[in-house]
Amino acid sequence: MNPFQLLIKPASYRCNLQCSYCFYLRVCETVYADNEKPFMNDTVLEEMIAQYMNYRFPESIFGWQGGEPTLMGLPFFQKVISLQQKYGSPGQVVGNALQTNGVLINEKWARFLSTFKFLVGLSLDGPKDIHDRYRRTNKRRSMWHEVMNAARLFQAHQVQFNILCVVSKANVNRVKEVYEFFVKNGFFYMQFIPALEADSKGKKASFCINSNQYGKFLCSLFDLWKQNPNLVSIRTFDALLSYYLGVPKGSCTFEKQCANYLLIEYNGDVYPCDFFVQDTHKIGNLLDTELHELFEMRNKSFGTRKSKLSEDCSKCRWLHLCYGGCIKDRIFSDNPHPEKTYFCDAYSQFFEHTSKWFQTQAKLIKSRSALKK
């Protein structure tokens, strides 16, 4: 059996913020519109963990996302650890990751996440005026200070965390300010993802950036980063360097196939990806069908979609770096070239600007490694 990971939405779409660019809000409006309080119950939680731990993969990885997963409360995650210990075997490697907006993080949360070595993603778009542009409560209250407090608690308790920054109209032209803000605050692990969602008419939403803007952002970010590349880890840059070092990129956007994981909703429903939580893409439910069977079904119905490339992609000089990008960016309703990723021009611009540098760095790393042997 090929190993796979779990991406779990224990509180589904529920969140204590109402971010303008949140793609998961549509789940509330469509798939689970009739359920006002979607919270994972003990039956689903225990069955999920029992099945998954029983596979004894080299690494058993649980990713907890939302919505906002901390709405489940700390006792829920204490129960998660207890069940992982109950169904695990001696020496079994288990990893937990948590993506949070940081609003509910306090001393108890920070101590818990540190003790059990959670890898945490903290959503933060930059300085206060940038962050507050699209990341507020439903009453338009700012939560920036709460997010910064969460970061300070993570640092104080030595929680491993990275910053997840959405690139939108609020910050796309302020790359230097955003990067220096993160570095100044000691945030040395960063991930940047472009905002791309449709409005009610199927057109690109007002907060979105275009492909050229994103390309310029990535190039400017790279020029800042390469002045001291050992200081900061940026996922997109790590992916390119990994390729030239001959190891997996670690970013499914740029891999040949989508990442091997199952998306688990609060009630046990299973989907192929969190961008495809739709009735038409539902695979089944873990209470009715074993997870390994659902994963096989996912691979048959969804696993090869990324490999279906356009003629332009197949002939592209950058195919080996991007492999057509993320599927959801190809099928975006306002994509002028739906056979390719919406960000095709951005990636081409970025690869042209950076690939030689990454190749050179990879050769240096390999030569140093050879000398040490």
Residue 252 or 124, more confident: 124
**Which CATH fold topology does 5-307 show?**
TIM Barrel (3.20.20)
Indicate if the pLDDT at residue 273 is higher than 80.
yes
pLDDT digits (tens, 9 = 90+) for 3-20: 999 999 999 999 999 999
Cβ–Cβ < 8 Å for 297, 283: yes
- Burial group, residue 307, by CB count within 10 angstroms (0-12, 13-18, 19+): exposed
For the ranges 216-225, 269-278, 295-304, the lowest mean pLDDT is seen at: 295-304
pLDDT digits (tens, 9 = 90+) for 77-115: 999 999 999 999 999 999 999 999 999 999 999 999 999
Measure Cα distances from 198 to 15, 17, 168, 207, 232 in Å: 20, 20, 13, 10, 32
Catalytic positions are 274
Cβ–Cβ < 8 Å for 92, 36: no
Please state, rounded to an integer, the average pLDDT across all residues of the chain.
Answer: 95
167 pairs with which residues across the strands? 194
Structure token pair of residue 244: 């030239």
